[in-house]
Structure 1
């Protein structure tokens, strides 16, 4: 079969390979989720079996979390530095022909390193690793079947990226639109590439649902229809989120620069930072669990109005700092899920305030919570349609499409007016600039010797 595909490359062969990319990426990302859930569940069960919170259980959880996180940081620094962070900028660079895809080392490092860092309790998402692993599966297929055509390689890498996001969030439409919209500067549009992306997303989602079920990943109670007169409030919320998104992106870059100044690219310091973060968030897992993990678990609690406004504000500020620290450290994890949690917290705060000042309107805080999820995503990643589809597929809140459209539009327009750049474009440019500076430095050191 490999010889046939290598000698008879055609649109049909690419579409067939996209099926395999979707299935393998779906399996890999689903098992990634299962492994992380297993680590978390084992910790909870062990604590429950040893009489809950005590000095012994806290000590054991802190130590094991430190070791798990240090293991993830070690794999990244020693084996595959390109697996640091979400990995999405690396894939965008690969689609642009600026970065290689070394799948043989990225896949195991991202898989096991991500299990270590996310399982330790760090505020990271699973979607970034899933996208990078999915894209790496696409490149792996091109190498296995010896496809030499650059366009075929590009198409399968993009298909794998879409499959990874689809499997991470059980959201096939969001996976497709993420590649088409967010990666639009790098993605090569043609009929075959779009079909391959759709096929891979479908197969990854079928694979995920066959193992994990078909329910909404973030189930929320039914919402009322939003009054038309209240839509102006959603526009105001979007305008506010636009400013928050620009500030968040700037803080991410600043945090990354600060961490690099601390560890100075030294293995021991980098791993030490990972151990310290693991120990800190292991402690939070025991004492303040709402400040640890990706934050998906607190979204229903916040959206249903179970938290007071003071608790929402405190959680929003604390989790913003935690997200910046964990993501900026270079840990192998994403930022989508933490951003969705932040958007929910702030959106709920806004909704509670709107209910107080406009008691005659038939609105709920949960409406603004869902709109906030999409708005912060749109303001930071600058992909409003992807944000809308992602939120709808995560929550199954189809009745909130119009408020989501207005809020994400307002957030995107404000972020653009303020001069903010998309998060992953900023990170890719930063990475390429550092690579260029390193190459120039090495060339300058070699010239005197010559």
Structure 2
């Protein structure tokens, strides 16, 4: 039997400099991506706190401030950084498409877009809009990682697709402080091909980016720790109800986003195409009205409301959940750089809380967690990513099977209603290449 010469392999490993340079560059840029996302998190939080000061100064202030600020953001985005509009995840997916020429990937990911995304998304929170920073974090981190290619040695084994995949996943890992969720996001949403020779290094990059956030904000769960007692069969009925409601609501929400952003022959789409800045200001005014009616509950990402719900307190009325969903849709329709992850978690938490209140279920935090996982899974149609992110965010390891089942059922129902959100929006992004897209065949969505 032939045995490999371990001395020769060790000597080759130690004397060949290219792999070591490659590893050093990739990990250095992964750490940088994590730090950039951590800085973005701080800036976004400060921006929203400033908006809250504006809101507290006078109840009517958002009615003036939000349309004005949104109009400025949309004008700046369309004039200087059109690739920064929207979530950011569709841009990364579009950049990773085989049909996208290497020279055109800068339309979707770059350091310039990453910096602009940080400023403009923070501006959206300064405006008080209902948006999340997690989707934008994907594009930001992907832009940082993609720029690493210029520093890699010749004949390296890392492809541009691999860098984009690692960067996008690192953005999720750092934004939510969930390294495992970042890995699963890469597999479900971004991993179009096998990166066999470099997968270990790329996964290390994702985890390292997540650890950068941990080093700054501490090893704390995103929403804290919820105490869930031993769960029994009493959770089955309410959990199934939440999965069905989340699947239906999430599928309709996803379809609404796709139809709205794709545009059509209706009067609203024509107005959006003819006067996008004025249309955005009108949408922002409606978001402001909703926020005033709900006494500020629907402003921002929804993080504070979700945390209050998980801690066992009621916030708002039954109308909070549908109004938060409408505010998020209108925010996305404006065209500002904005994600839907955090607002989706807020809507899901509202569904769980509402169901618990309606049926009188005692363990409300458990149903809220199921709602978060179910609605996020229905919107993104990435159930494994959804349940792992929620599990890590609330330190809810005792609910693994329940969260997984709810996410899978909700995602399955959503698939009957809507095409997968991010691939559909990525197709709209590919129109910027100037090449007409062929009609998408049924079942041609990317494999998860």
TM-score (normalised: structure 1): 0.82
Report the CA distance between 1:80 and its aligned residue: 2.1
- Report whether the alignment pairs 1:34 with 2:42: yes
Compared CA separation, residues 381 and 318, structure 1 to 2 (3 A) = same
Partner of 2:366: 367
Distance 1:407 1:334 in 2: 23
Distance 1:66 1:415 in 2: 33
Consecutive unaligned residues of structure 1, counting only runs of 5 or more, are 1-7, 357-362, 441-450
- Report whether the alignment pairs 1:355 with 2:360: yes
Matches within 5 A, 1:385-396: 385-396=384-395
Report the CA distance between 1:348 and its aligned residue: 1.6
Moved more, 378-387 or 271-280: 271-280
Tell me if structure 2 keeps the 8 A contact 1:179–1:187: no
Distance 1:147 1:137 in 2: 20
Partner of 2:196: 190
Compared CA separation, residues 69 and 31, structure 1 to 2 (3 A) = farther
Partner of 2:276: 270
- Report whether the alignment pairs 1:101 with 2:105: yes
Moved over 6 A (4+): 146-150, 437-440
1:209 to 193, 211, 214: 214
Partner of 1:231: 236
1:301 to 281, 297, 308: 308
Partner of 2:327: 322
Distance 1:87 1:127 in 2: 9
SS of equivalent to 1:319: helix
Tell me if structure 1 keeps the 8 A contact 2:238–2:367: no
Tell me if structure 1 keeps the 8 A contact 2:33–2:144: yes
Partner of 2:441: none
| Residues 351-371 of structure 1: per-residue CA shift (max 9 Å, x gap) | 233436xxxxxx512211101
Distance 2:156 2:98 in 1: 13
Tell me if structure 1 keeps the 8 A contact 2:74–2:334: no
Distance 2:37 2:393 in 1: 17
Partner of 1:120: 127
SS of equivalent to 1:237: helix
SS of equivalent to 2:98: coil
Tell me if structure 2 keeps the 8 A contact 1:138–1:158: no
Query: RMSD over aligned Cα, in angstroms?
Result: 2.8
Bigger proportion of residues as helix: 1
Moved more, 147-156 or 170-179: 147-156
Partner of 2:7: none
SS of equivalent to 1:166: helix
SS of equivalent to 2:314: coil
Distance 1:424 1:166 in 2: 18
Tell me if structure 2 keeps the 8 A contact 1:312–1:346: no
SS of equivalent to 2:130: coil
Number of residues of Structure 1 aligned to a counterpart in Structure 2: 412
Consecutive unaligned residues of structure 2, counting only runs of 5 or more, are 1-15, 439-448
Distance 1:371 1:116 in 2: 31
Partner of 1:382: 381
Compared CA separation, residues 273 and 9, structure 1 to 2 (3 A) = farther
Compared CA separation, residues 177 and 69, structure 1 to 2 (3 A) = same
Distance 2:127 2:17 in 1: 45
Partner of 1:15: 23
Partner of 2:92: 91
Tell me if structure 1 keeps the 8 A contact 2:141–2:171: yes
Partner of 1:444: none
Distance 1:439 1:240 in 2: 34
Compared CA separation, residues 239 and 14, structure 1 to 2 (3 A) = farther
Compared CA separation, residues 69 and 214, structure 1 to 2 (3 A) = farther
2:423 to 419, 425, 428: 425
Matches within 5 A, 1:133-148: 133-145=140-152
Tell me if structure 2 keeps the 8 A contact 1:134–1:160: yes
Distance 1:30 1:283 in 2: 32
